[in-house]
Structures are given as C-alpha cells and as structure tokens.
Structure 1
Amino acid sequence: MAIINFGSINIDHVYQVEHFVQPGETLASTQYKQLLGGKGANQSIALALAGADVKHVGAIHESDATFKQTLIRKGVDCQYVSCTDTPSGHAIIQVTPSGENAIVLFGGANLTLNEETAQKALSNTGSSDWVLTQNETSSIADILSLAHSKQLKVAFNPAPMSDSVKALPLDCVDLLIVNETEAQAITGQSTTESIVAWFTDNWKHGEVILTLGKDGVIMVRKDGTTIKVPAFTVDAVDTTAAGDCFIGYFLSAYSQHTDARQALIRGCAASAIAVTREGAAQSIPTQNEVDHFLAKHGK
C-alpha cells in the first residue's frame, strides 16, 4: 500500500530583518537560512517518518538536486521527482524580531505538473493505494479525476485556499482536510458548528477533517457522525508545519486501517511536537518521538 503525493517542493529563503523592507529601501538581513519547504514536501516527509510508503511526484530545477536527496534521505521515494530547467518553486520570507513574516511565493517548477505526469505516476498503482495532493501545483483537476477513475482513495488539502478550488471535481475527493479558513471559503459558513453541519449535509461522498489549531480536530464521517479530538497542550514556538505534520501522521495511520480516533490522536501528537521546534520539514518528529509523547500523555 502506497501513498502517491502530488506535491510542491519549495526552497525557503528566510531572512531575519529588523522590519519589513519598505519601497525603495535596501535593508540588511541579520540572518539567512535556505530550507526545504513546500506543503507537498513537508507532507511527504511526515508520511515517511510516520512509516508510510510514500512516493512524491513533483519537480525542481536541476541545480537544486540536493533538496531531492534530502527527501530521499528522509525515506521518500523520489522516482517521480523530475529535475528540469524551470526554476524551483521558492519563497522569499522576511521575519521580524516579533515573529511576524512577509512572504513572496513563486510557483516555478511546481506548476509544470501535467496530465502526462499524473498518468505516468499512477500507471502502476494498487487498489489499496492513496493519492494525496494540495493546492500548490498545476493540473490538480486532472490528478483528482484520474485517481478517482482508477478507484484510488483521494485525499485533498486545498492549501493555500483559492477561488479555483470550488471549480475542481471535489466529488472525486474521499478525504478533505481543511483548516477553519479553508472550510469557511468552501462552505460559506462562519462558525465551527455551522461548518460541521454544512459538511454533514453536503459532503456525503467522503469524509472531512477540520483542523482547529489549539482546539484540536473534528472529523465528519460519511454516515454523518463526528469525532472530536482535543489538541495536546504544549509551548509552541513555530506553527509553520503543524498542519502538514498532522496530515502525514494521520494519513499514514488511517491508510493502514488504524481506528479513526486513534489516527487523529496520533496526528495531533506529531503536530504538537512539531510546533515546539523551529522550521518546517526539520520540525517533524520521528515515530519513536511520537510514541514516547503519547506514552507520556497516557494515550
């Protein structure tokens, strides 16, 4: 059983600055880091560290092949990660001393995925395989439709949210994973209760996970029942990859037929560990760390 993740691979250029640069200003950075990022890459790493057989489908510039090696070292199968002459997707991130950030995002090679890419990556799949994707690559409609036509389970995390999401073939999605902002955009509702009610009434073809940050998660099942799991209380220092970490650990467990509540708890535990560490991909814990955390909390 494999999880085929059609996902972004970004290079994050992180600059520590005294304040956000102003028009016409040249501002010296006090610190610079170049890090592997992108929701797709983060989720693949979380899946791999959680023990899943994950195959990443994506693209980067040939000069950035070292980032592909980083994914491989984390346990991600990268046979469908191509090195192209298109610049890699990347983010220019300014971070102030108070922790505020300003980001310029460039899609780059992430937007070169096409129907042919999807057909090639899904040419040798099994009935128990899952397909996962986010909203940072091209050809999402083709990916969802092709996966559904092959009767694969499809998980979709529409982040970052955009108007184009509503035009996608969402009836192909078996598991939708959204935060409150994304859920509000899809449902038109403004409260947690009304969002859950909308999905209960209007999303009968699949399941929905609503992540609520420090308030935990709610899962709406196909039969209309809900499962609510509280978040673990920790001292958070960086929430950048919290959602990606949750998705990887939850889907790894759930795809292997773990009880839904237990899979949600495991996802919440991994996410809780991640937010106590700085960075994105590098903050994602190992299985042993999650096991220890759950044992410590009596779960």
Structure 2
Amino acid sequence: MITNFGSINIDHVYQVTNLPKAGETLSAKSYARYLGGKGVNQSVAIAKAGGTLRHVGAVGADGNWALEQMADNGVGDEHVTRLDIATGHAIIYVDDSAENQIVILGGANTALTEQIIDDALMGATGWVLFQNETNMIDVIASKGTDAGCKLAYAAAPFSKEHALPLLDKVDLLAVNETEANDLADATGRKVEDLGVPILLVTKGSAGADLWVDGEYFHQSAFKVDAVDTTGAGDTFLGSFLAQYDETNDPAGALQYATAASAIQVTRQGAANAIPNKKEVIKFLEAQKK
C-alpha cells in the first residue's frame, strides 16, 4: 500500500498573444482547466500502474471538479478533507512563444492538520509518500515512521530547509538532476553519498539513475516525440513506486517508470496524460521488436 500525502490543484491555463505587463489588461485567446499538483499527479500514476493507494489531501468548496477528475483517473477521495478554504490552484499564462507566467495558491494543500494525518495513517502499511507542496511534512514523516511505514520523499519544489532535516529519515529520495545539484550544493556531498537507502535521480532525455542499498542501476530514456513534459517527473515517481512496491524489482520498476513517462510526454496535459499499465506493457513490448 502507498499512502500519498499529496497536493491537489486546479490549473487554469490562459493562452495569450503576449505576457501581460504591469497594469495591462489582456484578452485571452483560449482557456483550459486541468487537474494538477505534484501529489495528485503521482497518485494517478500509482493508480494507473496498478498500485494500492490512499490519497490524502484537502480541497475547498470549489474542489468538486478536481475530485471528479481524480475519480475518473482511478484515485479515490476517501481521505480527502473538505475545508473552508480555497482549493489549491494555479493561474497560468502561456504566450505565442510558449513562455509562461504562473501564480500558485497553496490553499487547502497547506492546511493539513495532525488529525487528518492520524486518520489517514490508521491501518496504513507499506509506503508513505510526500512532497513539498503540502504543509506538515515533518509531522507526516514522523508519524509515518511511527506507523511502521517506509518513507518516500519527492524533494520538490526544492527547498533545502525542507530537504536537509529529512535526509536521515527517508527510505527513498526522488529528485531530478537540477534538484540533485541543489542538494549537493547544500550538503557539500554528491547525492549518491548521502546514505539514503533508495535514491532515484531523473535526468530527462539522459534517462534515470537509481541506487538501492548501494547497488547502481541506469535506465536510458526511450526516444519519443515529446509535446508536453508537464508532470513527467511525477509520472515517473508514481509509476516507479507502484511497481517497486509490487515486485521489489528495482531494474524492472525503473524500466516501467521510464516507459510510462515516455508515453506521458507525447500527450497534452499532466494527470490526464498518464498511461495505464496495459499501455505501458504494450509500449515496452514494442521496444523489443
């Protein structure tokens, strides 16, 4: 089982000719609404990879659409709390040259309580997964350990104030190449020398590196025509953790996660673009031909 304390966002995306200047009012060319947030993206990936999942989070009164989108993607809301605060969301402007401006409100994601955490951990086994897009991650880590669960931590968005106190507590640390460099700068050591039992470093088109109790694995990226890389890292981590939890096969889980994220970036969107297990298996079989 994987218990994911994860952010739930609504992404409001406006296509504009140019990004607004101070005091300028623009007419948008189009508008789209997407389910977002690193946490929920990871949960969708876990669910679509066949993992046993509890998603723990919070939304406001305006969160029903997000919950419907989660359900459509196989993620239940039994452990999602409704609060009297706005659902986390992002306002995103994208111009004709694909440059963007983004404003994010943490909202309900940053209003988790100890009671929410305690209730979610009742009967939990296996893994507790968390990121830096919710509050109380130190409490989640402590209570997850007390519950007898292993801790998986995605150190994103990167903050050394959040990451450094957790390094000797987590069982799995997931970072991308930029975050790995930031962490190395903050500690004065290479990330592979930090002593974390399982370290996963995603490197985009250069593939991914994995260390499990000192044993090293590398998986090259699959060549695809990418159209949207939003959520690729979340797809990778959720897919990897689901497969590793099921099989205890690091190399196999790494290959599966690489394939899942390769498929995902060929589609528009984030959570809605994540492939299911059948699609990933078919993709991997095609690579052998």
- Secondary structure of the equivalent of 1:77? coil
Q: CA offset at residue 167 of structure 1?
A: 4.6
Whole-Å Cα distance in 2 between the matches of residues 159 and 4 of structure 1? 18
Q: Which residue of 2 aligns with 1:66?
A: 65
Match of 1:242 among 222, 232, 244: 232
- CA RMSD across the alignment: 1.7
Alignment partner of 1:252 is 2:242 = yes
- The superposition leaves residues 99-118 of structure 1 with CA deviations (integer Å, 9 ceiling, x where unpaired) of 22211111000001122221
Q: Which residue of 2 aligns with 1:148?
A: 145
Q: CA offset at residue 231 of structure 1?
A: 0.4
Q: Which residue of 1 aligns with 2:102?
A: 103
Q: Which residue of 2 aligns with 1:88?
A: 87
Q: Which runs of 5+ in 1 are unaligned?
A: none
Q: CA offset at residue 136 of structure 1?
A: 0.2
- The superposition leaves residues 175-222 of structure 1 with CA deviations (integer Å, 9 ceiling, x where unpaired) of 0000011111212189xxx97xx233321x421001000000000222
Q: CA offset at residue 72 of structure 1?
A: 2.1
Q: CA offset at residue 153 of structure 1?
A: 1.2
- Decide whether the 8 Å contact of 1:7 with 1:134 is kept in 2: yes
Q: Which residue of 1 aligns with 2:55?
A: 56
Q: CA offset at residue 68 of structure 1?
A: 1.0
Whole-Å Cα distance in 1 between the matches of residues 204 and 39 of structure 2? 20
- Decide whether the 8 Å contact of 2:167 with 2:194 is kept in 1: no
Q: Which runs of 5+ in 2 are unaligned?
A: none
- Secondary structure of the equivalent of 1:78? coil
Whole-Å Cα distance in 1 between the matches of residues 148 and 179 of structure 2? 26
- The superposition leaves residues 156-177 of structure 1 with CA deviations (integer Å, 9 ceiling, x where unpaired) of 1011112322353332210000
- The superposition leaves residues 38-83 of structure 1 with CA deviations (integer Å, 9 ceiling, x where unpaired) of 0111111111111111111001112321211221232223211011
Whole-Å Cα distance in 1 between the matches of residues 41 and 165 of structure 2? 23
Q: CA offset at residue 257 of structure 1?
A: 2.5
Q: Which residue of 2 aligns with 1:23?
A: 22
Alignment partner of 1:164 is 2:154 = no
Q: Which residue of 2 aligns with 1:218?
A: 209
Runs of 4+ in structure 1 displaced over 2 angstroms?
166-170, 198-202
Residue type of the alignment partner of 1:261:
A
Greater shift, 169-178 or 20-29, is seen at 169-178
Q: Which residue of 1 aligns with 2:257?
A: 267
Equivalent pairs, count: 289
Identity %: 44
Residue type of the alignment partner of 2:197:
G
- Decide whether the 8 Å contact of 1:53 with 1:76 is kept in 2: no
TM norm structure 1: 0.92
- Decide whether the 8 Å contact of 1:9 with 1:58 is kept in 2: yes
- Secondary structure of the equivalent of 2:103? strand
Whole-Å Cα distance in 2 between the matches of residues 121 and 189 of structure 1? 33
Whole-Å Cα distance in 2 between the matches of residues 111 and 105 of structure 1? 12
Q: CA offset at residue 25 of structure 1?
A: 0.5
Q: Which residue of 2 aligns with 1:292?
A: 282
TM norm structure 2: 0.95
